[in-house]
Each structure stands twice: as structure tokens, then as C-alpha cells.
Amino acid sequence: MDTALYSLEKNYKIEKEIGSGGMGVVYLATDKRLDRQVAIKVLKLSTGNNDSGVSETEVIERFQREAKAVAKLSHPNIINIYDIGSDDGLYYMVMEFVDGESVSDLIENKALDIETSINIAIQLCSALELAHESGIIHRDIKPANMIFSKKRIAKLMDFGIAQLGKQEKELFKLTQAGSVLGSIMYISPEQLNDASRVDQRTDIYSFGMSLYEMLTGHLPFMAESISTIVMKIISHEAASPSSYDYRISKSLDNVILKSLAKDPELRYQNAGEMKKDLEKALYEFKNTNTETRAEATTLITDNGLNNNTMFGNISTSSTIIMSNASTIMSKPGDIHSADLGHAVLPKNTPINETLINSLEKDWSWLRHMLFGWKRVSMEGESIPDILSRIINNKTYSTTNGVISINNNTYIFWYEGYIVGGVNISDNTVNENFFYDMPKTVQNVEFSFTPENCHDAPIILASMFNYEKPFHINLDSSTMDLIPLIDNFSSEFSPFSGFLKCYTESNIFYYGYSYGKNIFVCMADNDDDSISPDVYNDPKKLVTNHRVILNTYSIKPEIFGTSLHSVLKMMNLNLKYRSYSKGELINIVELGADEVPNYLVKEVKQNIYLDLDLNQSSKIKLLDKDIDLHKVV
């Protein structure tokens, strides 16, 4: 036994170490006075804490904050604290001992079913409800901080970075300024932006993320680097949990996705609201007709897919199907879809590669697509005049469309902005296109989007300048692609982007806006091997024909005169990182005296040039934000 623990031997018999973490070691012990088992958490004070950038004083303060937080609470689903103390540099906390396992271990061991997961969540919602009503925000909700006893009682623990009530909030902002506390995988978007200004809804988000993992065994935002994970947390939508397990109901999907809303205003505003919806979901799950579930299982497991070839050697048929479903149903932006892009999938659908490669480079289908759109002729004008006229005309500021020049050059116009351009003769796009626009103008037309195709220009612009697909080489002959296509219309995160479906001798493009398929076109318009009734619906296409499917989301940008207009609204200003020190005036006031080197260095470090906009620094196109600072 560690000699530092001898001071505890007077009242406690230390039996064994049962856990450890970044802040402390937990021992199982017996309280000699009350003859009961307890857990004693002993604070770690070592160079390890300093190496992580956390001072010894801050570690002690966090430790004491946990004790204060839990001491205010008395709830069957929160670990009780019996005592706290220090002795000759040893800081310890005596807590209730719970004979059970952490939820993170249960997830790792695949020991959680749907009903148990919901039960745990309902119990812990009650704990969070009390904590929040008492003015305490946990700020580090995750499965590792939840324990499930052998008596099936869930308990919340580890309030070490809890934010206490209003009386300590300002002090907390000062001591934690600039730091992001909490486990990165479960942290809320607003906690990443400013950890000092979160409220109880950050716990709702982290709790929803934990429940997501409990139900699926996966986290929705995973990547190889922390910076990519942070980007996904801030900007990507989570795939529906049911994409991993068909038994998860729509109502349970809705509970989790609502808790994971990026905007705190769109989440549950308190744990009590979430608890009520979880109780309804549990009732629904328990009362689902078991025969119906059995039939569904039979239908899925009898589809004859060779999943061992595609996804490795998996032991049971039910696991095989879940692995398959998780891959093909995850939404764009989800790490599993990105992983799939690197996977080697068997392509049983025959492809005429020579013909398809030729069609990939032939963009004349755009000309065919615009035939049915209402057009206004603008012959005889120069391109700069045309663009200036459109930008300055209020009629066009609320109109979307495509400007066609010489029947081979196209500029995409969306909600008052130029969002892309393409020359289908030489396949130049966007920046390269605007650097080398045609000098002479023979005919110019503005094609207005049809009523049901309002968002087409921004999707079309992305189709000519896309990045890596989110789903790649999904083969209808080896996978059921219908669930994926249905998932594009998810109520909580509808898909905006486009699909490319490769048949043996053609390519079909489908544009999606907020989950709705708003247009379809094909690379070879002379191909009549597939009827319009079939190819107009992607589900019919993948059902009736062998197809390779790729999916892409949009990445909106602005170009040309729209970008010039933004530049005109910007001012270049000298700014200070801190007004309390290092201002230029400090040097000026010295007059002719010699300027100390330290002051020159301080001023250099404290000033920078920045662009100021005369309007909001962001514009929203379709469902994506464009940061104008980054554009410039």
C-alpha cells in the first residue's frame, strides 16, 4: 500500500485499488466505525499534472469543487460523498461504494441492450434534473462518469469540473478563461467556443452523445485528429442511431438527435423534458409487437449478402446485418461514411469504364437540363455589364438561376450571389473559370429556376467542383441502398447535396435540398435503355438496375463580382490584442527618448491587421454558413 495512505488507516481499512483517472486514484475501503464499504478517492499531485498545463492549485480546487457540488445534492442516482479531508499534503474524498461497472465498460463489452440503455438514461435524467435545479452544471457527462450497479441502479459521478451556482460563476470564468474542460468526444459545440459561458444545455448535449454511444456502440463524430473531430462537432450532423440498429425506433432517434442539436435553443431545455420523451420511447419499445420485430429480423438476415467478404469475419448473422446497416445508412459527414471511402468494396455491377470515363468529362448534360427553364435573353451586352446589372437589380436579388453565355459557359446565381461558374467546352470551373471568362459575347440568357427547383444553382455549382464523396462505391447488387436513400429525408438532419449513380453505360445525377430530390439529369441523354419513370426516382433505379452510388454534400462559395462586392465592404484596421498593454501610444509618449527593446517587442506582439466587415461576417447559403473573413 502507498505509504501516503497510512494517515487514513485510523478510520478506514484500505483493501485495493479499484480505479484511476487523470485527477485521482480510487480505493475500495471499509469504514471501521460504521462497518460499511466505501470508495476513497485520493487526489494525484505529481509532475504529470504540471505537464498537462494544469497547476497543482487548480487540481486541488477542482477536487474541492467536486465535493462542494455533490454535497449540495441528495439523489439516489448521484454518488454520495460521506467525508472530505486533507492530511500532510494528502487530499481525499470518501464516497459511496457502488458494486457495478462503468457504462463505458458496458459499452466496450457490448453488454447494453436498448431497454437497459433507455432505463439508465431515464434514471440519470432525474439526477441531472436535480443538479441543474440546484444550479450545478456537470460539464463532463460521459459513459465513464456513469456507473450501473448489479441492482440495476444508475449513478452519476465525477463532478470534478462542475460549474457551480451564480455566486461562483464570475470567478469560474476568470480561472478557466480560454480553457475547454470536458472530454472532447462528448463536448458540446458551445463548450468548444467558450467553456466559461455554458449552461445546463451543454450537459443535455453530452448526455445525448453518451446515450448515442450506449445504443449504437459508436460515436457519431470520429476522426484521426482532434482538429477534425472538433470540426465535425461544430459543423456536422449526426447520423440517426437507427442507421446502426433497425430496432431503434423513430421516436428514440428523435430524442437523441434533438439533444444533439448544434443550437442549444433547439435542444431539450432541461433534463425533465428529455426524461418524459425517453419514458414514452421506452413504453413504445416494450409494447412493440414482438412478432413484427421477429419478421423484420427474418427479412433482413435472409437477404443473402456475403458480409464476411465485405466487412470481415463476423460471427453472428444479426451482427453482420447491423454492421452492414451502419455502413450504408450513415449520413454524409459521419466518420463511418468517410471510412467507407477508403474501404475496398466488391463491385459486382458491371461498368463500361471507357464509356463512363468519357461521360465524366462530358458536361453537356447541363445544357439539356436548362431547356425546360424560363429564360430571358440578354444579347449584346458585355459580361461585366450583365453581372453588374444582375447584382444591382432587386428583381434578381431574390431570384435564383443560371446565366448561360455562348451556350457553353454557365454562371450559377443563388440568392444574390455568384456561387460558381463552368465552361463545359474546356471544363474550367470556379476560380479558374472567372480568371478566364470569354471575351466576346454572342448570346446571353438568364434561366430562372422552376418553382420546385429553387436551390438547384448552388447544388449544380458543387457538382462541378466536389471534394471526396461521403459514400463511395455503394453497389446495389451487394447492398440494400433503399435505407440510405430514405435516410436523406431525416426530419432532424435532411440531406442537401447530390448523388451520382453509375449504371453500366450511363451516369445519373440527383440533386437534394433539405431531404427532397429536386432534380435529376443524366450524362448521356440519348440513352433510352432506362425509362424516365424509373430513373426519375433513385429508389426505383437502384431497385430495378445494378448501380454504383456515390454521395456528396455541398460546399458553397462565392466568386467573381460577388466576391468583389464583399471586398468593397471591408476595411483594413490596426487592432490590439489587449488594450491594457503594448499600445503604440506608449512608444509615442516617449518622444525622442530611446525606446526600450522590451516595449517594442510587446507592441509587435500586441498589434495585428484585421479586416472589418460593414455587415454580418457570415452569410447562409442553403444550409451552410460561409465565413466571409475566410473567403477573403
Q: Could you give the angle at which helices 383-392 and 560-568 cross, rounded to 10 degrees?
A: 60
Residue 497's nearest CA partner among 415, 583, 443, 556 is 556
Most confident of 83-97, 100-114, 422-436: 100-114
The pLDDT value given to residue 625: 56
The pLDDT value given to residue 115: 93
Contact yes or no for 336/239 (Cβ under 8 A):
yes
Residue 575's pLDDT band, with cuts at 50, 70 and 90, is low
Q: Which residues are registered as beta bridge partners of 517?
A: 512
Across 246-253, average pLDDT: 90
The pLDDT value given to residue 233: 87
Is the per-residue pLDDT at 73 higher than 60? yes
Q: Which residues are registered as beta bridge partners of 156?
A: 78, 146
The pLDDT value given to residue 487: 80
Q: Can you tell me whether residue 552 is helix, strand or coil?
A: strand
Q: Any idea which of 57-66, 71-80, 137-146, 242-251 has the lowest mean pLDDT?
A: 57-66
Residue 345's pLDDT band, with cuts at 50, 70 and 90, is very low
Burial of 418 (0-12, 13-18, 19+ CB in 10 A): buried
Q: Any idea which of 228-232, 240-244, 273-277, 596-600 has the lowest mean pLDDT?
A: 596-600
Q: What is the DSSP string of 357-401?
A: HHHHH--THHHHHGGGSEEEE-TT--HHHHHHHHHH-HHHHT--E
* Count of C-beta atoms within a 10 Å radius of residue 93: 22
Q: Can you tell me whether residue 54 is helix, strand or coil?
A: coil
Across 358-377, average pLDDT: 88
| Residue ranges covered by each domain of the chain | 1-97, 101-288, 330-358+465-553, 364-463, 567-631
Q: Any idea which of 341-350, 359-368, 518-527 has the lowest mean pLDDT?
A: 341-350
Residue 175 in grid coordinates = 480561472
Q: Write out pLDDT tens, residues 434-461.
A: 666 666 677 888 888 898 888 898 889 8
Residue 544's nearest CA partner among 532, 552, 555 is 532
Average predicted confidence (pLDDT) for the chain: 75
CA distances from 331 to 65, 143, 458, 484, 603 (A): 40, 24, 20, 8, 48
Q: Write out pLDDT tens, residues 531-557.
A: 999 999 999 999 999 999 988 888 777
Across 579-584, average pLDDT: 53
Angle at 146 between CA 142 and CA 147, to 5 degrees: 155
3-state SS of the chain: helix, strand, coil percent to 5?
40, 20, 35
State the maximum Cα–Cα separation within the chain, in Å, rounded to a whole number.
98
More confident site: 40 or 70: 40
More confident site: 194 or 548: 548
Across 504-512, average pLDDT: 94
The pLDDT value given to residue 420: 83
- This prediction's pTM: 0.47
Residue 576's pLDDT band, with cuts at 50, 70 and 90, is low
Q: Any idea which of 126-140, 187-201, 509-523, 582-596 has the lowest mean pLDDT?
A: 582-596
Is the per-residue pLDDT at 304 higher than 80? no
Residue 178's pLDDT band, with cuts at 50, 70 and 90, is very low
Q: Can you tell me whether residue 85 is helix, strand or coil?
A: strand
Burial of 76 (0-12, 13-18, 19+ CB in 10 A): exposed
The pLDDT value given to residue 175: 35
Is the per-residue pLDDT at 332 higher than 80? no
The pLDDT value given to residue 395: 66
Q: Write out pLDDT tens, residues 125-160.
A: 999 998 898 888 888 899 988 999 998 999 998 765
Contact yes or no for 42/25 (Cβ under 8 A):
yes
The pLDDT value given to residue 348: 67
Fold of 1-97: Phosphorylase Kinase; domain 1 (3.30.200)
Q: Write out pLDDT tens, residues 15-27.
A: 898 877 656 788 8
Q: How far apart are CA 550 and CA 467, in angstroms?
A: 12
Residue 579's pLDDT band, with cuts at 50, 70 and 90, is low
Per CATH, domain 101-288 is 1.10.510.10: yes
The rounded percent of the chain whose pLDDT value lies above 70 is 66
Q: Write out pLDDT tens, residues 387-411.
A: 777 766 666 667 888 888 888 888 8
In one-letter notation, the amino acid at residue 217 is G
In one-letter notation, the amino acid at residue 79 is I
Q: Any idea which of 2-6, 383-387, 542-546 has the lowest mean pLDDT?
A: 2-6
Q: Do domains 1-97 and 101-288 have the same CATH topology?
A: no
